[in-house]
Amino acid sequence: MPRTRVTVWNEHVSERREEAAARVYPLGLHAAVAEGIRDVLRDAVEVRTATLDEPDQGLPEAVLATTEVLVWWGHVAHEQVTDVTVTRVRARVLAGMGLVVLHSGHLSKVFRSLMGTSCNLRWREGEDRELVWTVNPSHPIAQGVPHPLEIGPHEMYGELFDIPQPDELVFVSSFSGGEVFRSGCCFRRGAGRIFYFSPGHQTCPVYRLPGVRRVLANAVIWAHNPAPSPIVPTVSVESPPGWFRRQREPETDG
Amino acid sequence: MPRTRVTVWNEHVSERREEAAARVYPLGLHAAVAEGIRDVLRDAVEVRTATLDEPDQGLPEAVLATTEVLVWWGHVAHEQVTDVTVTRVRARVLAGMGLVVLHSGHLSKVFRSLMGTSCNLRWREGEDRELVWTVNPSHPIAQGVPHPLEIGPHEMYGELFDIPQPDELVFVSSFSGGEVFRSGCCFRRGAGRIFYFSPGHQTCPVYRLPGVRRVLANAVIWAHNPAPSPIVPTVSVESPPGWFRRQREPETDG
Amino acid sequence: MPRTRVTVWNEHVSERREEAAARVYPLGLHAAVAEGIRDVLRDAVEVRTATLDEPDQGLPEAVLATTEVLVWWGHVAHEQVTDVTVTRVRARVLAGMGLVVLHSGHLSKVFRSLMGTSCNLRWREGEDRELVWTVNPSHPIAQGVPHPLEIGPHEMYGELFDIPQPDELVFVSSFSGGEVFRSGCCFRRGAGRIFYFSPGHQTCPVYRLPGVRRVLANAVIWAHNPAPSPIVPTVSVESPPGWFRRQREPETDG
Amino acid sequence: MPRTRVTVWNEHVSERREEAAARVYPLGLHAAVAEGIRDVLRDAVEVRTATLDEPDQGLPEAVLATTEVLVWWGHVAHEQVTDVTVTRVRARVLAGMGLVVLHSGHLSKVFRSLMGTSCNLRWREGEDRELVWTVNPSHPIAQGVPHPLEIGPHEMYGELFDIPQPDELVFVSSFSGGEVFRSGCCFRRGAGRIFYFSPGHQTCPVYRLPGVRRVLANAVIWAHNPAPSPIVPTVSVESPPGWFRRQREPETDG
C-alpha cells in the first residue's frame, strides 16, 4: 500500500523567540507533530516538514503537488503568509488535499478563507486543565482516543467559536475555568477534507501526549483522499444536453 | 395572531413521592414549566398541562389534535407510558406537532422511538455547577439567552450521550466535575420539529430561572409548525407518471 | 409588530442590455422580486431596492445598517462589486443580517466569501423544465410551497454544485435533461442566516410564479434574525478566569 | 490486513415467486450483491450470505458476532422478520456493526427502528431511466463512481422520502418522469455507520452494473468500524466525581 504523504507546516517563530516555547519544542513544533504522526502510523506515512522562512514560504507547487495531507500550525505570523501562498494551498484543498489545522491555526488565512467566518474565539493563557470528550463514537478520528483525553495545564479556548456548524463534530472540550469548546471538527470543502483540532499551545508539551498523537494520526488517515473526485468544477461549465453521455464515449472506446 | 397551543405533560410522580422534589415543585414540575412559558410568551400562547394518571395518560386524541407543541417531562415512570400512548404521540410529531423533551425525558419511549438510538448518557446527582454555552448564535432558540446560562447546583449529565448527530446543536454544557454535554439539540422528524433541553432535575429549581424560561419559550416558538406540510407520506404511495400534475388539476379548477 | 426591513439588490445590467431580459423584467429583476415579497408578506415587510450603479454600489453603511434581510441578484457584473462593498456586506451578515442569494448570485463575491468554496456548477440555457421538490417538510421555507414547484422552460443548473454541505437542505430540483441540483440551501454563518435559491434566470418570468414568491417570502422571514446574538466575537478575546460572571455584574446592579 | 467480514442478507422471496425476478437473479439477489462486493474488493473482504428461511432468520448471534458489515435487502417479507431478530441486529449496529440498506429495505423494521421516522416514499414500477449524481465529492463512497451513474429502466423512488436529514448526503437521483430522490445517505447511530442506497429493484439487473458494484464496495469499506468505540453506553451510567480518572488506573498499572 502506498504511503500517505504528509507535510507538517509550521510558521516556526515562537519556538525561536519565546524561551518557554523553545524549552518545550527545541526543534520546533513541526518536529514534534511530525514525530507523533510517524510514531503511530510508521510505514503507512511519509512525513516531511516545511516552515515559513523556506523558499515560497515552504509550500511551492512542487511540495503541494506531492502532499496528500497538509498539517498547519501558525500563530503570530498569520499576516506574513502571502496571498499567493494562501491561494495555492486553498486551491489544493478544494482539489482534494487533506488539511489538518491545529490550535491557533484557527486564525490562519487559509482556514478562514475556507470557512467563510471570522473563526474568532475566547482564550486565556493559564493553568486550565482541558478534557477532550468524544461526542461521535463511530467516527474514525475518535478511534482509540481516551474518553476523556486529559490535557493540562493548557491554554483555554472557549465558545463562541465563530465557525460554520461542522459537518461532523467529533470532540468537545471542557476547561477547569468552566468554558467549553468544539475542539475536534470535520468539514468537507470541494474534494478536500478538513479537520480542526484545538489542543496545542506552543508552551505546553501537548504534542507529546499519546492520546493527542493518536488523534493526529487518525486525522491524517481520515483527511487523506486517495482518489480526489474529478467532478469538482474549477469553473462553472456550460453543459449541452446529454453532455454526461458524450463524455463517456472515450471511456467506452478505450 | 392565533395563540400557539402548548400542552406540558409530566408523569408527576417524583414530586408526590420525594420530599426534596415536593419542596421545589409543590404543584408539580408541569406547573412550573407551564408558568415559565406563559410568563415569557403571554398572549402568544395558550398553555395547559397533562399528567400520567389522567384518562388516556393525559394525552387522548382530542388533546393531541389541539396541541401544537407538546412539552415532555418524565423520569421514573417511562415504562408506565403505554405503547398506545407512544404510538399516538409519535404519529402526531411526524405529522407536524412540535415536541420539547426535557431532562430525564431523554429515556422516554417517545423520544427514543423518534431518535432510533439508546439515548443513554452518564449522570451524577451532586453539587455540580452547570454552565450552558451557546454554540449556534443565529439560532432562534438562543435568542436572549445568557452566555453562559448558569445553573447550579444541578445533576450532571455527561457524554457520551447516545443520540444521532443533532440537525442543529444549539447549547453545550460544562459541569464543575469536568464533563461536557450537548444540552440543546434540534431534530426534524417527518413534519415535526423536536428540541431536547437537558437542564431540569426534579430537586433543583431550574425551571424558575429566567434564562431557562427564555429557552423554553424560544423552543416552543421554534417547534411550532403552523402549517404542517401535507407532503409527508403516511404510507409509501404508488405514483403513476405525471401524478404531480394531475393532483393539481382540482386546485386549478377550484 | 415591527416590519421586517428588506433590501433587494440587483446589479441591473442584463435587463438594460439584453432584449430578452428587458422584455421579461422591464423595470429590472429587483422590481419583480420586491413586488413578489410585498405581495405575499404585505404589512409584515418594508421592501426597498438598490442597484450597482447607485452611490456606494447601492449599499452604503446607512442602507445596510437598516436592512434586516438583503436579497442579492447578480450575474455579469460580479467583478465590478468592489472589495469594500463585499467586506461591508459580509460583516453585516456575520453580525446578523439575513442574506437571500438568488440564481447566478452563486458566483457573487459575497456568497463565495461566505461559503469558502468555488461555488461553481454546471449550466445550460435552453428549454429545460425544472421541478423543485421539497426534501425538508418541516422547514419554514417549505411552508405552502407546491410539491413539486414547476418552473419552465428555465436555465439548467446542475451538480456538482461546489458548496459546503448545507446546514439544512430544503429543495432539490430535477431538469428534463436529467440533471439534479440542490436548489434550496440554508447556511448559518456568524449571527447571520443565509438562504440560496437557484431559480431565477433573467429571461424567464420565474419571479412572477406564485410558488417562487412564496419561497422568497418564507426565506425572508426565516433569514430575519430580530435580535442578533451579541456573543459572536469580532476579534478573539482574552478572557480572564470568571470573565462570564464579572460581565454580568452591571446587569445585576442595573 | 485482516479481511472485512461481510454478511449479505436477503429475504429471498421475490426471486422464488416472480418470474421476472427469477430471470434476473436466478441465484437470489444476495448472490449478485455478494459477487459484486467480492469482485471489487477481492482479498480485502470475506463475504457470506444469509436468508430469511435459515435458522434464526439467518442472523443468529454467532453470525452477527462475526459480521462487521451487514448488507440488507428485503421487500415483501418485512413483517416476517421477528422482533427478536430486529432487536438483535439493531443492538449490533449500535455497538458498531456497519449496515448497508438497499432499495426496498427502506421499509424494513431494522432501518425504520434506527431512523425513527416512517421511511415512506413515492414509487412507480415502469420504464424510468434513473441517473445517480454525486453531491459530496470528497466522500469515500463516491470514489470512482461515474457522474452520473446511469441506471435504467428502473423503478422510480421519489421524494418526499421521510427520513431524518442524512449526516452526509452522497447521491441524489433523477428519474425520467421528473422525480428526484436522495439515493445515497449516510447516518451514524451509536458506534455504527449506516448507508442507505436506493437502486436495486428485483426485476432489474442493477447489481450487475460496475458503477453500482463500486458503490456497494465503497459503502462496505466506509461502514466498517474496525475498532468500535467502547464509550457508547448500554445503559445510563451513574458516574461519581472523578470517575474518568479512576477508570484509567488499571490501564496505568497494566
Write out the DSSP string of B184-195: EEEEEETTEEEE
Residue in A137, A189, A245 closest to D191 by CB: A137
CB B71 within 8 A of CB B216: yes
CA distance C152 to chain D (A): 13
**What string of H, E and C letters represents the secondary structure of chain D?**
CCCEEEEEEECCCHHHHCHHHHHHCCCCHHHHHHHHHHHHHHHHEEEEEEECCCHHHHCCHHHHHCCCEEEEECCCCHHHCCHHHHHHHHHHHHCCCEEEEEHHHHHCHHHHHHHCCCCCCEEEEEEEEEEEEECCCCCHHHCCCCCCEEEEEEEEEECCCCCCCCCEEEEEEEECCCCEEEEEEEEEECCEEEEEECCCCCCCCHHHCHHHHHHHHHHHHHHCCCCCCCCCCCCCEECCCCHHHHCCHHHHHC
Looking at residue B24, its pLDDT comes to 97
Q: What is the rounded CA–CA span in Å between residue D144 and residue D141?
A: 9
Looking at residue D246, its pLDDT comes to 83
What does the DSSP 8-state code read for residue B115? H
> Which chain A residues touch B160 with a CB distance below 8 Å?
133-135, 137, 147
Mean of pLDDT values over C17-37: 97
Model pLDDT for residues B175-214, shown as the tens digit of each residue: 999 999 999 999 999 999 999 999 999 999 999 999 999 9
Looking at residue B152, its pLDDT comes to 84
Q: How far, rounded to the nearest angstrom, does the alpha carbon of residue A218 sit from its chain's CA centroid? A: 12
Q: What is the rounded CA–CA span in Å between residue B203 and residue C163?
A: 48
- Subunits with at least 3 CB pairs below 8 A relative to chain B? A, C, D
Mean of pLDDT values over A206-216: 98
Strands (E), chain B: 4-10, 45-51, 69-73, 98-102, 122-134, 149-158, 168-175, 180-189, 192-197, 237-238
- In sequence order, the 6+-apart residues with CB closer than 8 A to the CB of A38 are A45, A47
Mean of pLDDT values over C207-230: 96
Looking at residue C234, its pLDDT comes to 87
Burial of A66 (0-12, 13-18, 19+ CB in 10 A): exposed
- Interface residues of chain D, partner chain B, Cβ below 8 Å: 94, 107, 113-118, 120-124, 126, 156, 158, 160, 162, 164-165, 167, 177-179, 187-190, 229, 231-244
Looking at residue B251, its pLDDT comes to 39
Q: Which helix (H) or strand (E) holds C68?
A: none
The type of residue at A218 is N
C-alpha cell recorded at residue A76:
503570530
Q: How many CB atoms lie within 10 A of CB A241?
A: 17
Residue in B121, B162, B189 closest to D164 by CB: B189
The residue of chain B nearest to residue A151, with distances taken between CA atoms, is: B178
Which residue, B200, B207, B214, B206, is CA-closest to B145? B214
Looking at residue D72, its pLDDT comes to 98
> Which chain B residues touch C40 with a CB distance below 8 Å?
none
Structural domains in chain B plus CATH codes:
4-119+180-253 (3.40.50.880)
Q: Do D229 and A148 touch (CB under 8 A)?
A: no
CA distance C73 to chain B (A): 23
Q: How many CB atoms lie within 10 A of CB A125?
A: 13
Q: What is the rounded CA–CA span in Å between residue A46 and residue A67?
A: 10
Flag whether pLDDT at C197 surpasses 70: yes
Looking at residue D251, its pLDDT comes to 40
C-alpha cell recorded at residue B74:
418524565
Residue in C115, C188, C239 closest to A122 by CB: C239
Q: What is the rounded CA–CA span in Å between residue C59 and residue C109?
A: 14
β-pairing verdict for A180-189 and A168-175: antiparallel
Which of C174, C176, C183 has the most D C-beta neighbours within 10 Å, making it the best mutation to test the interface with D?
C174
Looking at residue B2, its pLDDT comes to 84
CA distance D114 to chain B (A): 4
CB D81 within 8 A of CB D109: yes
The type of residue at A51 is T
Residue in A134, A136, A180 closest to B133 by CB: A180
Flag whether pLDDT at B253 surpasses 50: no
Q: What is the rounded CA–CA span in Å between residue D115 and residue D90?
A: 11
- In sequence order, the 6+-apart residues with CB closer than 8 A to the CB of C129 are C150, C151, C152, C153, C154, C175, C176, D178
Question: Partners of C122 in the beta sheet?
Answer: A237, C158
Place of cell 474568532: A120
Q: What is the rounded CA–CA span in Å between residue C125 and residue C21?
A: 13
CB D232 within 8 A of CB D191: yes
Model pLDDT for residues C63-113, shown as the tens digit of each residue: 999 999 999 999 999 999 999 999 999 999 999 999 999 999 999 999 999
Model pLDDT for residues A137-177, shown as the tens digit of each residue: 999 999 999 999 999 899 999 999 999 999 999 999 999 99
> Which chain C residues touch B225 with a CB distance below 8 Å?
138
Burial of D60 (0-12, 13-18, 19+ CB in 10 A): middle
CB D196 within 8 A of CB D98: no
Q: What is the rounded CA–CA span in Å between residue C146 and residue C132?
A: 9
Q: Do C229 and B143 touch (CB under 8 A)?
A: yes
What does the DSSP 8-state code read for residue C27? T
Which of A159, A167, A186 has the most B C-beta neighbours within 10 Å, making it the best mutation to test the interface with B?
A159
CA distance D19 to chain A (A): 32
Question: Partners of C231 in the beta sheet?
Answer: none
Looking at residue D2, its pLDDT comes to 84
CA distance B165 to chain D (A): 7
Which of C236, C244, C245 has the most A C-beta neighbours within 10 Å, making it the best mutation to test the interface with A?
C236
Which residue, B141, B157, B146, B149, is CA-closest to B75? B157
Model pLDDT for residues D58-115, shown as the tens digit of each residue: 999 999 999 999 999 999 999 999 999 999 999 999 999 999 999 999 999 999 999 9
Q: What is the rounded CA–CA span in Å between residue C132 and residue C181?
A: 9
Q: What is the rounded CA–CA span in Å between residue D142 and residue D220?
A: 12
- Interface residues of chain C, partner chain B, Cβ below 8 Å: 96, 131, 134, 136-139, 142-144, 146-148, 150, 167-168, 188-193, 225-229, 231-232, 244-245, 248
Q: Do C138 and B167 touch (CB under 8 A)?
A: no
Looking at residue C17, its pLDDT comes to 95
Looking at residue C248, its pLDDT comes to 60
CA distance D174 to chain B (A): 14
Q: What is the rounded CA–CA span in Å between residue A106 and residue A73?
A: 9
Flag whether pLDDT at B248 surpasses 80: no
Q: How far, rounded to the nearest angstrom, does the alpha carbon of residue D225 sit from its chain's CA centroid? A: 14
**What string of H, E and C letters represents the secondary structure of chain A?**
CCCEEEEEEECCCHHHHCHHHHHHCCCCHHHHHHHHHHHHHHHHEEEEEEECCCHHHHCCHHHHHCCCEEEEECCCCHHHCCHHHHHHHHHHHHCCCEEEEEHHHHHCHHHHHHHCCCCCCEEEEEEEEEEEEECCCCCHHHCCCCCCEEEEEEEEEECCCCCCCCCEEEEEEEECCCCEEEEEEEEEECCEEEEEECCCCCCCCHHHCHHHHHHHHHHHHHHCCCCCCCCCCCCCEECCCCHHHHCCHHHHHC
Q: What is the rounded CA–CA span in Å between residue B177 and residue B160?
A: 15
CB D113 within 8 A of CB D86: yes
Mean of pLDDT values over D123-129: 94
CA distance C43 to chain A (A): 33
Q: What is the rounded CA–CA span in Å between residue C201 and residue C156?
A: 9
Q: What is the rounded CA–CA span in Å between residue C231 and residue A90?
A: 29
Mean of pLDDT values over B70-95: 98
Model pLDDT for residues A14-35, shown as the tens digit of each residue: 999 999 999 999 999 999 999 9
If DSSP codes are grouped into helix, strand and coil, which group holds residue C79?
A: helix
Looking at residue D64, its pLDDT comes to 98
Q: Do D147 and C129 touch (CB under 8 A)?
A: no
Looking at residue D250, its pLDDT comes to 43
Flag whether pLDDT at B30 surpasses 50: yes
Q: Do A191 and D167 touch (CB under 8 A)?
A: no
> Which chain B residues touch D108 with a CB distance below 8 Å?
none
- In sequence order, the 6+-apart residues with CB closer than 8 A to the CB of B206 are B151, B154, B199, B200, B212
Q: What is the rounded CA–CA span in Å between residue D239 and residue A117?
A: 38
Mean of pLDDT values over A90-106: 98
> Which chain D residues touch B153 with a CB distance below 8 Å?
none
Q: Do C182 and D172 touch (CB under 8 A)?
A: yes
Q: What is the rounded CA–CA span in Å between residue B64 and residue B49?
A: 12
C-alpha cell recorded at residue C28:
429590472
Looking at residue A165, its pLDDT comes to 98
CB C32 within 8 A of CB C25: yes
- Subunits with at least 3 CB pairs below 8 A relative to chain D? A, B, C
Model pLDDT for residues C3-14, shown as the tens digit of each residue: 999 999 999 999
Looking at residue A252, its pLDDT comes to 35
Flag whether pLDDT at C16 surpasses 70: yes
Burial of A61 (0-12, 13-18, 19+ CB in 10 A): exposed
Greatest extent of chain A over all pairs of C-alpha atoms, in Å: 66
CA distance C107 to chain A (A): 9
Looking at residue B252, its pLDDT comes to 35
> Which chain D residues touch A223 with a CB distance below 8 Å?
none
Quote the ipTM score: 0.95
Residues in chain C: 254
* Residue B159 CA: distances (Å) to CA of A129, A133, B112, B163: 18, 7, 17, 10
Residue in D137, D174, D175 closest to C160 by CB: D137
Across chain D, what does the average pLDDT equal? 95
CB C183 within 8 A of CB C198: yes
> Which chain A residues touch C233 with a CB distance below 8 Å?
118, 120-122, 160, 162
Looking at residue D253, its pLDDT comes to 32
Across chain A, what does the average pLDDT equal? 95
The pTM of the full predicted model, rounded to 2 decimals, is: 0.97
